[in-house]
Chains A and B, each alone.
Chain A
Amino acid sequence: MNRRLDVLVCSGAACVSSHSAEVKSALACEIDARGLSDEIRLVETGCMGPCELGPVLLIYPGGTFYVRVSPNDVAEIVEEHFLKGRPVRRLLWETPEARRIAEEKKQVPFFEKQQKIVLANCGEIDPENIEEFIATGGYEALGRALTEKSPEELIETLVASGLRGRGGAGFPTGLKWRFVARESGKTKVVVCNADEGDPGAFMDRSLLEGDPHSVIEGMTIAAYAVGANHGYVYVRAEYPLAIRRLKTAIEQARNAGLLGLNILETGFAFDLEVRIGAGAFVCGEETALIASIEGERGMPRTRPPYPSTSGVFGHPTLINNAETWGNIRHIVLHGAQWFAAIGTPQSPGTKVFALSGKVVNTGLVEVPMGTTLREVIFDIGGGIPNGKAFKAVQTGGPSGGCIPAEYLDTPIDYESLKKLGAIMGSGGIIVMDEDNCMVNIAKYFLDFTCDESCGKCVPCRAGTRQMLDLLEKITDGKGETADIDRLRSLGMMVASTSLCGLGQSAPNPVLSTLKYFGHEYQAHIHEHRCEAKVCPSMIRFEINPAACRACDKCRTVCPVTAITGKPGTPPYQLDAQTCIRCGRCAEVCPFDAIAINSGDLN
């Protein structure tokens, strides 16, 4: 019998953590119990994007999109929707601002402004079934490349497309390919950098989980173009699902003759190995990654020689980021002109972003380059939750910079972001609202890079430590005016004297917050005031005697008995000396009688 329904269960890591596997098995049981197994197919897909709302289900035809599905909802979905054709409205995606029910996926604003090229298959096909990938045109680009195109033609196409490295630096991909192709060495290597280390970034993981074959196909095309027969995919060990699906995909490609000694019976040979990294941030830097593949400690090396001349085990090496690899097959299929027309002239194509922080729709989005930050955060991201005010957006992870509200209309491309002191990076976007203290944010990111510094260069190893100490001094309320200049000059020194990208960009969060949020540093130092009321040394809890109704709730939750009073006889007293500023009292107070204040008393 013909199938009439495809039920796609998102099995990206975020949905798996919110128990999508249980939803899937419940669905399988229920569908089976009602004898619908022949008509309805369950498919596990990669990440669909709106991770905040997981587990999510997508049902075709119709594209009904269910969010936050629990195993308890399954019987109702099968009975009402699959059997009787009535979508279960309470599980449909509602947008908070309009409260309207978006019945079809294309009506969900989250998807409307996106243009999915790299992620087109993520959430639409079963990543563990090579036939579904082939059905969407998979491996056609490889087939055409091997049978119809010369390596030179492919490289010309890549150069003309204007594709730039999606790992962060934005180096033209075609030029990289050309450099490696021109090397005379007999053995050449192709590497996929999927060592995604930025906190909050999960673009590469989702691509490997949702569409691993697209990365394999891109790498194989490149191997043919530059004359390589061996490749590595370097993935971090924290991505077990991505690793499993990638290995399955490699195995399937080998069995189908799409990897191995005689690819598509053209005589071209290429094979892939998966290398698992231990999760050091610095291993995302290409020379450190190469050292790690070789079994050495992950530390960057001086360049030149560049990997294109001497990379893995001294062989000319072509190294690109996972998302870059995901673009290749589309460029080969549709041509350089098609790709160059998307995005902006300097930064063509789309970019995948991991949207997180203080934003309604957190998740994975893909937009044409040149889309503004405002469109990504407010139109796709749904704005700031709980009616709070937007304060800043951090792009590029811990090496990026914080961009304030006045630059929200900046188009996202490599140059525009750099001009603002931020970077594209691998594509993390962290949104901050009025409750985020920018000094504390800078401290958080610096704490990360200081911890992750490999220690090879003194400026990075010791300089980030010194900067971190200064930031701690300021947030502890002991800052001096001169600390701002110290931070700035240290930051510039670390950036200009470190060997690799980690050290060169580590001061970015500090330098950009000093530039755009200098007044917050000033307030911390001179008034001991933390605007966002985050830094514990600068806030105090105070009971408003007029509002206190002596309900006794605050006293019972206080872990250090800083609050005293008798039920029924207001006001209660709070002893500031004893208070540890945990905030529990303010949370439980039903009358909003406990205020959080910051700044010197005068």
Chain B
Amino acid sequence: MKLEELRQIRERASKELSLRKGNARIKVVIGMGTSGIAAGARDVMAAFLDEISVRNLTDVVVTQTGERGLASSEPVVDVLITGEPKVSYGQMTADKARRVVVEHLVNGNAVTDFVIEVRG
């Protein structure tokens, strides 16, 4: 192995460790309380994880939270981007999740059709 190859391994392997570094620019928080899960939050999360992986976004973490109280809007997803207000989306589906990744996470434009709240 040459030094260049070592550096390539590092490039690849450090992505594997990105979860353990607290420097993600974007945080996607999925409401995974009982009603969220019942309304399909797991599919939404799977779609987020998949789309983020396909687009090779490294500064995004996907995490989950509990019940927010707004059961009728579940699944609820918050998108937190450093330096921007928190955007909450309601009644999410896997397809909507993929649109949020493309339009909001990549291009920086919130998908206004699904937004239920903007705060901060």
Interface residues of A (CB under 8 A from B): 1-6, 8, 39, 60-63, 83-86, 124-125, 131-132, 134-140, 143-144, 146-147, 256-258, 264-265
CA A250 to CA B9, docked complex, whole Å? 18
Contact partners of A146 in chain B: CB under 8 A: 3
Verify if B46 is at the interface (C-beta below 8 Å from A).
Answer: yes
Contact partners of B63 in chain A: CB under 8 A: 4, 61-62, 85
Contacts A61-B63, A84-B66; is A135 near B1 (CB within 8 Å)?
Answer: no
Contacts A1-B46, A1-B50, A265-B2; is A85 near B61 (CB within 8 Å)?
Answer: no
CA A135 to CA B50, docked complex, whole Å? 23
CA A360 to CA B75, docked complex, whole Å? 44
Could you pull out 5 A-B pairs where Cβ atoms are within 8 angstroms? A63-B22, A84-B32, A85-B29, A85-B30, A85-B66
Contact partners of B66 in chain A: CB under 8 A: 84-86
Interface residues of B in 1-16 (CB under 8 A from A): 1-3, 6-7, 9-10, 12-14, 16
A85 touches B65 (CB 8 A): yes
The interface centre, meaning the residue of A61, A125, A136 with most chain B CB atoms within 10 A of its CB, is: A61
Contact partners of B14 in chain A: CB under 8 A: 135-136
A136 touches B37 (CB 8 A): no
Contact partners of A147 in chain B: CB under 8 A: 3
CB distance from A22 to the nearest CB of B (A): 24
A131 touches B13 (CB 8 A): yes
A60 touches B37 (CB 8 A): no
B1 touches A124 (CB 8 A): no
Q: Is the interface of B mostly helix, strand, loop or mixed?
A: helix
CA A453 to CA B39, docked complex, whole Å? 71
CB distance from A90 to the nearest CB of B (A): 16
CB distance from B19 to the nearest CB of A (A): 5
Contact partners of B32 in chain A: CB under 8 A: 83-85
Verify if B52 is at the interface (C-beta below 8 Å from A).
Answer: yes
A264 touches B13 (CB 8 A): no
Contact partners of A3 in chain B: CB under 8 A: 16, 19, 49
CA A144 to CA B4, docked complex, whole Å? 11
Contact partners of A125 in chain B: CB under 8 A: 17
B6 touches A139 (CB 8 A): yes
CB distance from B72 to the nearest CB of A (A): 19
Contact partners of B20 in chain A: CB under 8 A: 6, 8, 60-61, 124
CA A268 to CA B1, docked complex, whole Å? 13
The interface centre, meaning the residue of A4, A5, A63, A264 with most chain B CB atoms within 10 A of its CB, is: A4
Considering the complex, give the chain B residue whose CB is closest to the CB of A256.
B1
In addition to A62-B63, A143-B3, A143-B6, 4 A-B residue pairs with Cβ atoms within 8 Å of each other are A3-B19, A4-B63, A84-B33, A135-B10
Verify if B105 is at the interface (C-beta below 8 Å from A).
Answer: no
For chain B, the count of residues having a C-beta within 8 Å of the partner chain is: 35
A84 touches B37 (CB 8 A): yes
CB distance from B60 to the nearest CB of A (A): 9
Partner of B13 from A1, A132, A265 at Cβ < 8 Å: A132
Considering the complex, give the chain A residue whose CB is closest to the CB of B66.
A86
B1 touches A265 (CB 8 A): yes
Considering the complex, give the chain B residue whose CB is closest to the CB of A80.
B66
Contact partners of A4 in chain B: CB under 8 A: 19, 45, 49, 61-63
CB distance from B27 to the nearest CB of A (A): 8
B19 touches A60 (CB 8 A): yes
Verify if B24 is at the interface (C-beta below 8 Å from A).
Answer: yes
CA A1 to CA B9, docked complex, whole Å? 20
The interface centre, meaning the residue of B13, B29, B65, B66 with most chain A CB atoms within 10 A of its CB, is: B13
Verify if B53 is at the interface (C-beta below 8 Å from A).
Answer: yes
CB distance from A270 to the nearest CB of B (A): 15
CA A265 to CA B6, docked complex, whole Å? 11
A61 touches B16 (CB 8 A): no
B64 touches A134 (CB 8 A): no
Considering the complex, give the chain B residue whose CB is closest to the CB of A104.
B22
Partner of B52 from A2, A5, A84, A264 at Cβ < 8 Å: A2
Contact partners of A86 in chain B: CB under 8 A: 65-66
A61 touches B24 (CB 8 A): yes
Contact partners of A264 in chain B: CB under 8 A: 1-3, 6
CA A339 to CA B70, docked complex, whole Å? 53
CB distance from B46 to the nearest CB of A (A): 7
Contact partners of B1 in chain A: CB under 8 A: 256-258, 264-265
Contacts A84-B37, A84-B66, A264-B6; is A1 near B53 (CB within 8 Å)?
Answer: yes
CB distance from A123 to the nearest CB of B (A): 10
CB distance from A343 to the nearest CB of B (A): 26
CA A473 to CA B101, docked complex, whole Å? 78
Considering the complex, give the chain B residue whose CB is closest to the CB of A5.
B19
CA A8 to CA B17, docked complex, whole Å? 12
CA A60 to CA B10, docked complex, whole Å? 20
CB distance from A46 to the nearest CB of B (A): 14
